[in-house]
Amino acid sequence: MGTGHGPPDQGAPPTLVPVWQPRWTIRRGASVLRDIWEIRTDPTYRRLARSYELPDGSRRIYCHHIRKTAGTSLVQSFMALGGEDPMDVWRRTTTSRLPRAISGNYSFVVNHRRLLAEGAYFYGRSHHAVADQPLPPNTFTVTILRDPIARVHSYFDFLVAGDEPHLPVRVSEQERSKARDGLDTFLDRVPTAYLLNQLAIFSKTFDVSEAVDRIAQCSSILFTEDFADGLAVLGRRLELPLVARRARVTGTRSSLTDEQRERIRSRVEPEYELLRRLDEGGIAAPGSTPSA
């Protein structure tokens, strides 16, 4: 206890918490209000959004982006529509105050819940779970699915090799560290939501039935295994000149032992059940995309 003379006792004064916390809350609140004002009053994005109408009557496209399924390739196919290098368009979404960009007559939004919910864009995407990302009516939704073992293996190789240097967004060292000690340790460390990302996006409780129902509501379901064919069909359906592009392709690929393959399979069996249910229900399967 202090005596009243000399310097105070060591340690943080109790007043620091009530002083700093309100300041942070005020700054955060001001930032949110500024975002809302900018989103709802920006004339350029709203004017462009009013001009969008797809053949089925939809006003925008949104991708439920599952990692390592070709989602980045898909977004770059759309970002190229304005005539620019799609990497330049993507880079602008990472350097602007709000993660969005315009290229030609097309606008794009990446990973911002409020922007995506407001709907003033041509193409948007995020890694958000369906339950966490409200979307306006008349949104054309698309997702890409992949063989679960292949997806997890690709994710592991991706973390080991790291991003290509020129990509605008880099994977954190914390995430990459999960793969530093080999695949077996990686499988012990990786969060379930990353391991079962195809299931987690459509059901936060990893419920296969819930995920099947939500995937069935998507306007278009593609598969990594026949991505180029699926993209061509999607382009015809949307009447857009979509061209397949390869992005975030991992250059260094490891091989799996039979034991490792079986271990991954045992961990991702719920996703195989998901794919079986989608196939049996006539909802989606690789190679089943209609040609028109």
Strand pairing partners for 123? 61, 108
Strands (E), 17-80: 60-64
Residue at 232 is within a domain: yes
Give the per-residue pLDDT at 33. 63
Residue at 2 is within a domain: no
Q: How many domains does the chain have?
A: 1
Give the per-residue pLDDT at 69. 97
Give the per-residue pLDDT at 248. 60
Residue at 228 is within a domain: yes
Q: Which domain holds residue 276?
A: 53-280
Compute the distance between CA of residue 237 and CA of residue 292 in angstroms, rounded to an integer.
7
- Is residue 141 within a helix (H) or strand (E), and if so which, with residue range? strand 139-145
Give the per-residue pLDDT at 2. 43
Give the per-residue pLDDT at 218. 99
SS3 call for 70: coil
Residue at 58 is within a domain: yes
Residue at 75 is within a domain: yes
Strand pairing partners for 101? 108
Residue at 138 is within a domain: yes
SS3 call for 198: helix
- pTM, to two decimals: 0.86
Give the per-residue pLDDT at 120. 96
Q: What are phi and psi of 244, to 5 degrees?
A: -65, 135
Compute the distance between CA of residue 54 and CA of residue 52 in angstroms, rounded to an integer.
7
Burial call 108-123: b when 16+ CB within 10 Å, e when fewer: bbbbbeebbebbbbbb
pLDDT-flagged residues of the chain (< 70): 1-33, 36-37, 163-167, 247-251, 289-292
Compute the distance between CA of residue 287 and CA of residue 109 in angstroms, rounded to an integer.
30
User: Rounded to an integer, what is the distance from CA 201 to the centroid of its chain?
Assistant: 9
Residue at 224 is within a domain: yes
Compute the distance between CA of residue 129 and CA of residue 194 in angstroms, rounded to an integer.
12
Compute the distance between CA of residue 133 and CA of residue 255 in angstroms, rounded to an integer.
36
Residue at 15 is within a domain: no
What would the two tokens of residue 54 be?
A: 């797809």
Q: Which CATH number fits the domain that encloses residue 136?
A: 3.40.50.300
Give the per-residue pLDDT at 93. 96
Give the per-residue pLDDT at 19. 53
For 79-125, the pLDDT digits (tens) are 999 999 999 999 999 999 999 999 999 999 999 999 999 999 999 99
Query: 276 and 211 in contact (C-beta within 8 Å)?
Result: no
